[in-house]
Amino acid sequence: MKLFRTDLQKAGPPADISVPRKKHMMCLNESVLDPYQAIDEAFNQTMQHIHLNRYFSQVTSELKRALVDYVGHNVTSENILWGNGADDMLFACFLAVREDNDSFVLTHAPSYFDYSTYSRAAGLNIRYQNFNPDFSFDEKEYLDILNSKDCRLGVLCNPNNPTGHLLDDAQIRYILDNTQKPVLIDETYYEFSQRTYIDLIKQYPNLIVVRSFSKSFSAAGLRFGYLVSAAENVNEIRKVQTIFNTSIMVQAFVLTMLMNKNLFLEHVKKTIDLKEQLYQRINKIENLKTWKTHTNFLTFSVGEKSADLFEFLKSKDIAIRDVGAHPILHNHLRVSIGSAEQNNCFAAAIEEFLLKR
């Protein structure tokens, strides 16, 4: 007798994030700003009114109001759902749309690697449309697959991770105009790109937008993300969540961050400036190829030397990410924007490496 799902028996365990643990962790698109140190006094003040021995708290309604105000675009609390990071929101959406063993979700490649993790966990298959070498894609082909019988959800990562590029606005609108299937736009890096489709949720009842506090609010370890969609969609997706899915303490901390949002948004601006400075520096390095991005990372390549550079950086106590699994990004690496000091150490290490070769 099988005790668990047959499809899980055929799958391996969740993939561990294979990144080196080094002094300069420039590999997971984390922020160098520690939110607790930034707002510890304000958070402690908020916690004076919170009772952790209770399931329910007034902080929940306060957070809803603050998040509605932050999101803007005339959304209401009925349009918002939150959970344990943007990943939790993705998993909830995948669970909610699955119909049967033939159901699948459609996304691009290369894109966020955990789309496959959460689709598998939800019992969904996954299909990919490959980006072209210039990171463009055929929206008509995407739409044909999306509108096929067993496709349950289309996912568009915008800006895309790990390429950092924005999808074409006209193509996204073309897809939205020509399907009734749910379309999820992953806006994890919204604060860096300033491109959002939340203003279209009333126009497109099948649109779902997912965001995160991990990047722009420097709270990767806090685990808080949210989605915005039509109230009917929020009600359905809520059905696959547990009742108390986000702790009162997390809610209180997020509320405090929103009360001090300018501190974090100013840090986003500084990060964008630091990214531009780093881009300008490494883009001048001979035999290195990189692109402008709309995120807090840069993706680049030094050709066949990329693997050796990856190891060399580790010897310098610098951890970055190898993103070369997809043919389009063969021999490509990704670096998260750090502090000015970290960025300088990283760039200097590349210059040293290439000088020796």
235-267 pLDDT, tens digit per residue, is: 999 999 999 999 999 999 999 999 999 999 999
Contacts 24+ apart (CB under 8 A), 197-201: 197/158, 197/172, 198/71, 198/72, 198/73, 198/75, 198/228, 199/73, 200/176, 201/73, 201/75, 201/79, 201/228, 201/229, 201/230
Per-residue b/e over 2-35, b at no fewer than 16 CB within 10 Å?
eeeeeeeeeeeeeeeeeeeebebbbbebbbbbeb
Query: The whole model's pTM is what?
Result: 0.96
CA distances from 143 to 104, 178, 195, 316 (A): 14, 8, 22, 46
Q: Tell whether the model's pLDDT for residue 14 goes beyond 90.
A: no
Q: Note the pLDDT tens digit of each residue in 115-165.
A: 999 999 999 999 999 999 999 999 999 999 999 999 999 999 999 999 999
How sure is the predictor about 17, in pLDDT bands with cuts at 50, 70 and 90? Answer: low
Q: What one-character-per-residue DSSP string does 65-115 give?
A: HHHHHHH-TT--GGGEEEESHHHHHHHHHHHHH--STT-EEEEEESS-THH
Question: Phi/psi at 80 (nearest 5 deg)?
Answer: -120, 140
Q: Tell whether the model's pLDDT for residue 16 goes beyond 80.
A: no
Residue in the block written with tokens 């006094």: 41
Ramachandran assignment for 330, one of left (phi > 0), alpha (psi -120 to 50 degrees), beta (any other): beta
Average pLDDT, the chain: 96
Share of the chain above pLDDT 70, in %: 98
Give residue limits of the domains in the chain.
19-33+262-355, 49-259
pLDDT of res. 355 = 87
pLDDT of res. 357 = 67
The rounded distance, in Å, linking the Cα atoms of 264 and 217 is 6
Mean pLDDT of all residues in 91-113: 97
How sure is the predictor about 186, in pLDDT bands with cuts at 50, 70 and 90? Answer: very high
pLDDT of res. 15 = 62
Q: Are 210 and 86 in contact (CB under 8 A)?
A: yes
How sure is the predictor about 268, in pLDDT bands with cuts at 50, 70 and 90? Answer: very high
- The reply to whether 19-33+262-355 and 49-259 are identical in fold is no
Candidates 86, 102, 103, 63; CA nearest to 184 is 86
pLDDT of res. 19 = 77
pLDDT of res. 222 = 97
Q: Tell whether the model's pLDDT for residue 273 goes beyond 90.
A: yes
CATH domain 49-259 topology? Aspartate Aminotransferase; domain 2 (3.40.640)
Mean pLDDT of all residues in 315-322: 97
Q: Tell whether the model's pLDDT for residue 79 goes beyond 70.
A: yes
How many C-alpha atoms does 67 have within 13 Å on its Cβ side? 28
Q: Picking from 6-10, 193-197, 343-347, which range would have the lowest pLDDT averaged per residue?
A: 6-10
The rounded distance, in Å, linking the Cα atoms of 357 and 353 is 7
CATH domain 19-33+262-355 topology? Aspartate Aminotransferase, domain 1 (3.90.1150)
Cβ contacts of residue 307 below 8 Å, gap of 6+?
Answer: 322, 331
pLDDT of res. 2 = 79
Question: Phi/psi at 126 (nearest 5 deg)?
Answer: -140, 135
Q: Are 210 and 182 in contact (CB under 8 A)?
A: no
